[in-house]
Amino acid sequence: MVTIHLTDKKCVACEGGIDPLTPEQIVPFAAEVPEWKIADDKKSISREFKFKDFKEALVFANKVGDIAESEGHHPDMEVGWGRVRVTLTTHAIKGLHDNDFIVAAKVDQL
């Protein structure tokens, strides 16, 4: 059996019409991105990254933006002095989709 990691996958367009991942479906995805926090309502995941200053935080945010553009799936980001909080959700289905975890795994590689 061949295991395909999230970082080897590509996001697929999600325009709605499907259900978000169930809590049971989230478990194996979350195991691949263990530093990401699943929201209590199970509708988003987020992670805060720390940096030595604002400039490094901006550089990182731009790299996240590059991943988002490449994948066609865009997180919400909050940039502050020495930190970037990245939050992923799939707005079209008001919850989590495979795409959220794919982008999270790719961000973790930065």
Q: What percent of the chain has pLDDT over 70?
A: 96
Q: Which CATH class is domain 37-110?
A: alpha beta
| Residues 3-29, mean pLDDT to the nearest whole number | 90
In the chain, where the domains are located: 37-110
- Phi-psi category of residue 57: left, alpha or beta, with phi > 0 → left and psi -120 to 50 → alpha: alpha
CA 3 to chain centre: 20
What confidence score (pLDDT) does residue 62 get? 98
Alpha-carbon span 19 to 60, nearest angstrom: 32
Please give the C-alpha separations between residue 71 and each of 31, 65, 67, in angstroms, as whole numbers: 21, 10, 6
Q: Is the pLDDT of residue 1 over 80?
A: no
The predicted-structure confidence for 51-75, as pLDDT tens digits, reads as follows: 999 999 999 999 999 999 999 999 9
Predicted local confidence at residue 84, as pLDDT: 99
